[in-house]
Structure 1
Amino acid sequence: MKKFRNIALFLSLMLIAFTIVGCTPKKDSNEGLKVEGVESQNKDVGEETQEFPIEIEDNFGNKVTMEKEPMKIVSLAPNNTEVLFALGLGDRIVGVTSYCDYPEEAKTKEIVGDFTATNLEKIIELNPDLVLVYGAGNKEDNKVLKDAGIKVLGFMPETIDAVMEDIETVGKVTGKNKEAKELVEAMNNKKNDILEKIKGQEEVRVFYEIWHDPLQAAGKGSFMNELITLSGGINIAADEKDEKGVEIAYPQYDLEKLIEKDPEVYLASQDMPDKTIESIKIRPGFEAISAIKDDRVYVFEGNEANVVSRPGPRIIEALELVAKAIHPELFK
């Protein structure tokens, strides 16, 4: 058993086990993704199929060559697990983390890791053809798996487009091209419906709380920032930068700045049982914020908290949840 290294991503969400984190900084979106292989068209039904072998290199330098469709897959992140199930690959999944809880069938799979550790011995025993990790994964763990002859690919999308590209990549490497393209098309259609609904609406100042003590926000570079922007919001934390002038995806945010920027909508996820709308409203100094005065605090709970924490196939549902919170009058 080896320890995962923490990263700044989703601190509050990690505590309630919505996301398994990686340990290496992310490269931009899916920039530099390399996919080599031969695709053919079934002219009778117009289905696009993937011929093997296929070589794929992820954004973190993990290059794999799949000689044939992987029939045994391990997922070490909930969002990757959801992608696999959405592509109809549930029967090929042989291992997941204890936090892979959607869909319901995911809970029946062999547990090979949790937030603090991953059971490499168990994974090797399962002898999977492919392991999907979050981000770059753990360098030492990856080496152990690769030395055992197991292919490793990492995904850490931070935009809707990147999520869709990752879905198509997983479709290619698993022989599910057609299913991936259909899923992406459905996601795009729903996204466009939501955007059309909020088109032309006045922008609203929004703050999304990642953690409360110390206060931490979703800044530019986080996928929540994109959801806020697409939903007709102005993310007040989007301009946060470090001492080198680099934008911070998950900056700490002091109360004085929060009051100064004065969000009209305050969003958070219930990472602890006692985090509620009321508990946020009574925090010292928060009474000066417009979102508090106008009763526009929204705490995503239960399944909603799950949805907005995972950059996977339900990210369009997350977009709709955020849009509803910002422009509730449009979704009655």
Structure 2
Amino acid sequence: MKRFKNKKILMLILVLALTLVAFTGCGNSNKVEDSNEKVETKDEKSVYPLEIEDQFKNKVTIKKKPERIVSLAPSHTEILFSLGLGDKIVGVTSFCDYPEEAKEKDKIGDYEGINIEKVIELEPDLVVQYGKGDEGINNKIKEAGIPIVSFEPESIDEVIDTINKIGKITGKEEEAKNITEDMKSKKDAIVDKVKDADTVKVFYEVWHDPLTAAGPGSFMDELINLAGGENIAKDAEGEYPNFDQEQLIERNPDIYLAAKDTEDKTVESIKTRPGYEAINAIRNDKVYLLEPNIVSRPGPRIVEALELVAKTLHPDLFE
């Protein structure tokens, strides 16, 4: 009886000991989880302040994750929306019309310039502009304590880099990676489709008075090359040079491209210009007007622009 009682007591002690171990184990597990949560939170917070360098080598400190963003260019507005930042955008230019939601945002400028007072009034914690911008305006924005970053991509690779940079600045790196990987894949597919096609001579009209071409270094020059064309202005001086009519007629493009950027610009208005009747593109009815918002904006839709140019140069390959 005594042995049975001692055994019973021993079993009770053992059960209590196991229970205590299990309880302690659960406690340690919770502590580990809590510890991990704290580490993750610390890591998330450690991203900001974030020091970055924009395309013009300006070193900019982003103190916190941007919650109020102003875009000073349609292409940048498209990038921000593509990253899922539409609800963070508080100001855009009057030219920012894509996607549709962009039209509902407060307007901070138009063709006459940027309303700097309006920009500051919106209290953004990030301004994204195209090109170097105006030094006076840049200084006023900085004096207001607002970080400003500048990008001016002129190639598909530079657009991809800009999207990734803006993604990093805004905490949308994963979204930026997905977008840019998709862009690369589509670009490669288009280039592969036209790689064996006969090269055609192309002229791209940026403006008609004075006649201005897409020259070397412009993103349209790259799109023409990737799409299986030869830009007849490839050796001109500058990205958007004046191009005289005599030179145009002499180089005799097979295809004449322009953006439908004004109501009075039509295929017929181009074809009936004095002297143009000697150009192959005119004689063979190869004048095409392209959607300006696609072919004029170096943003997420630049691969759509590549496809549009490729289909225009080699329509038989895309039937």
TM-score for the superposition, normalised by structure 2: 0.84
What residue in structure 1 maps to residue 209 of structure 2?
A: 213
What residue in structure 2 maps to residue 290 of structure 1?
A: 280
| Structure 1 position 69, deviation (Å) | 0.9
| Structure 1 position 259, deviation (Å) | 1.0
What residue in structure 1 maps to residue 175 of structure 2?
A: 179
**In 2, distance between residues paired with 1:207 and 1:220?**
12
| Structure 1 position 50, deviation (Å) | 8.7
What residue in structure 1 maps to residue 265 of structure 2?
A: 275
What residue in structure 2 maps to residue 9 of structure 1?
A: none
Determine whether 1:160 maps to 2:156. Answer: yes
Larger Rg: 2
Determine whether 1:107 maps to 2:103. Answer: yes
**In 2, distance between residues paired with 1:120 and 1:258?**
42
The 3-state SS of whatever aligns with 1:237 is coil
| Structure 1 position 251, deviation (Å) | 1.1
**In 1, distance between residues paired with 2:316 and 2:160?**
29
CA offset digits 1:144-166 (Å, max 9, x no partner): 00000000001100000000000
**In 1, distance between residues paired with 2:56 and 2:136?**
14
**In 2, distance between residues paired with 1:53 and 1:184?**
25
Percent identity, aligned pairs only?
59
Alignment gaps of 5+ in structure 2: 1-43
Structure 1 letter corresponding to 2:283: K
Determine whether 1:261 maps to 2:248. Answer: no
Alignment gaps of 5+ in structure 1: 1-47, 242-247
**In 1, distance between residues paired with 2:180 and 2:202?**
28
CA offset digits 1:38-75 (Å, max 9, x no partner): xxxxxxxxxx9992221111122432111221000000
- Give the conservation status (yes or no) of the 8 Å contact 1:70–1:130: yes
Question: Counterparts in 2 of 1:7-26, with a 5 A limit?
Answer: none
What residue in structure 1 maps to residue 294 of structure 2?
A: 307
Q: Which has the higher helix share?
A: 2
Higher relative contact order (CA 8 A, sep 6+): 1
Structure 1 letter corresponding to 2:240: Y
What residue in structure 1 maps to residue 67 of structure 2?
A: 71
Q: Which has the higher strand share?
A: 1
| Structure 1 position 118, deviation (Å) | 1.1
